[in-house]
Structure 1
Amino acid sequence: MAKQSDDRSGAPAKKPWYREYSEALIVAVILALIIRTFVVQAFKIPSGSMEDTLLIGDHLLVSKFIYGVQFPWSDDRYLALRHPERGDVIVFEFPEDKDKSYFERRDFIKRVIGVPGDTVEVRNKQVFVNGELYTIPQEVHKEESVVSAQYGPRDFMAPVTVPPGNYFVMGDNRDRSYDSRFWGFVAEPKIKGQAFIKYWSWDSEDFSVRWNRIGRPIH
């Protein structure tokens, strides 16, 4: 059966302009939500705990699918390419916010130091994984002072073993990072993805763009 038309030429009826725009907008919003939930999401760095790898004002993209597709209402993951590995820079839901409402929960970004089964220890600012010294080029120490174990685990932390399905994370700015040394492990379902590239960087102190950081991969 031929489609009805609104004129004598036989051409199909044309949608009103406002309907075409509204349909295009709805499709665009749905696609954006799908991409943000399952593919890639943008984040902004608000603190200096990952300096000098990430600076305050860096904007980055996070791969949401590398560790597996996850629906917002479930802890299960599907089609994972791999599990988080030591050295990955990850974004995750702050564990101490678990009892807060969805809109109050904060996202943190740190580097994976210990994977399930690893034993992590800190001695005089130095990190040991499974009894061996673990150093990376990205770590920095911006304070010369050493904090005794009796005042906190920043520079001295007794050995802890990472439980199954959990990860031990630390900031690259070791002396100024609030991380697993203080509040424990990150459960894998709370990991949102792996940070992989800086797409924008703004220096709020100098009111200038850090052009040399844009487009740089995150290692």
Structure 2
Amino acid sequence: MNPTWWKTLREYAEALIVALVLALVIRAFIVQAFKIPSESMLNTLLVGDHLLVTKFAYGVRLPFSDKVIVPVSDPKRGDVVVFEYPVDPDKDFIKRVIGTPGDVVEIKAKQVFVNGKLLDEPYAIHDEPVAVPNPHMSEVNADPAEYFDRNSFSWKRDWMPKTTVPEGKYFVMGDNRDHSYDSRFWGFVDRAALRGKALIIYWSWDFTGGLDIRWSRIGRLVH
């Protein structure tokens, strides 16, 4: 074998291995790409937005596990987070944190109250401004094990009795309140299920009528 050819091949192989290792390290510890597949976070995030999610925002994890080896910070109310969908951990969801551990969350006719105070939510939208009547409120048991049964009844969308967020868990909702399948229906998100905090839109296109690039959204921070 030609020594020069072999040396060149080895150099390319070494460069490829280094690149793969760096890519794995970056994905495991620093950032991860995420694509918005649904309208549940309108108008904050649009279908076709591509995000970078900071993996280290809430702590550095042991690769391929949920164990945090270097704690950094805890999610705060208002953070937009990517997490493993509790019903099917193979799927990633993106929602906004509404309730943190110990918070008491209540929903009355679409209005969200946290610890007895109406939450200021300039990001939230409602396609149906009139709340669906809730004939069951007086009969509802706020025990999470019984209440969060994954049934997406319209009255559950607009009403929820006072519910305390357990330790180590979070209550999340989509910004597009009338079209989001979130904690109102299936319950809380475990701290260990959080993949990271949405950081920035690095690419966006509208493919409903073609492949139109949304230049104005590229580089926009997520908040």
In 1, Cα distance between the equivalents of 2:69 and 2:117?
34
**Equivalent position amino acid for 1:87 in 2:** G
Please say which of residues 13-22 and 79-88 is displaced more in the overlay. 13-22
Cα–Cα, structure 1 residues 14 and 208, in superposed 2: closer, same or farther, change >3 Å?
closer
**Which residue of 1 is the match for residue 146 of structure 2?**
none
Equivalences, count: 202
1:68 positional shift: 0.5
Aligned-partner Cα distance in 2 for 1:73–1:129: 34
Which residue, 45, 59, 77 being the options, matches 2:68? 77
1:216 to 198, 208, 220: 220
Which stretches in structure 1 are left out of the alignment for 5+ residues? 1-12, 99-104
- Asked if 1:160 is matched to 2:145, the reply is no
CA deviation string 1:54-111 (max 9, x = no partner): 000000000000100112443321322210000000000000014xxxxxx1000000
Structure 2 unaligned residues grouped into runs of 5+: 137-152
Bigger radius of gyration, 1 or 2?
1
- Equivalent residues of 1:86, 1:115 under 8 A apart: yes
Alignment of 1:131-146 (within 5 A): 131-146=116-131
Q: Distance in 2 between matches of 1:126 and 1:135?
A: 9
Q: Indicate yes or no: 2:93 matched with 1:108.
A: yes
Distance 1:162 1:200 in 2: 35
In structure 2, distance between residues paired with 1:72 and 1:126: 40
Q: Percent of aligned pairs with the same residue?
A: 59
Q: CA–CA distance in 2 between the matches of 1:43 and 1:59?
A: 6
* 1:37 paired to 2:28: yes
Give the aligned residue type for 1:183: W
Rounded Cα–Cα distance in structure 1 between residues aligned with 2:169 and 2:51? 24
| C-alpha RMSD of the superposition | 1.6
Instruction: Please give the residue correspondences for 1:1-219 in structure 2 after superposition, counting only pairs within 5 Å.
Output: 16-98=7-89, 105-149=90-134, 150=136, 151=153, 152-206=155-209, 207-219=211-223
| 3-state SS, counterpart of residue 82 of structure 2 | strand
Please tell me whether the aligned partners of residues 110 and 159 of structure 2 are also in contact (alpha carbons under 8 angstroms): yes
Supply the distance in 2 between the matched residues of 1:164 and 1:23 (Cα, whole angstroms). 47
| TM-score under structure 1 length normalisation | 0.88
Offset of 1:14 from its aligned partner?
Answer: 9.3
TM-score (norm 2): 0.86
Following TM superposition, by how much is the alpha carbon of 1:15 offset from its aligned partner in structure 2, in angstroms? 5.8
- CA distance in structure 2 between the aligned counterparts of 1:74 and 1:40, rounded to whole angstroms: 16
**Secondary structure of 1:153's aligned partner:** helix
| Higher RCO by CA contacts (8 Å cutoff, separation 6 or greater) | 2
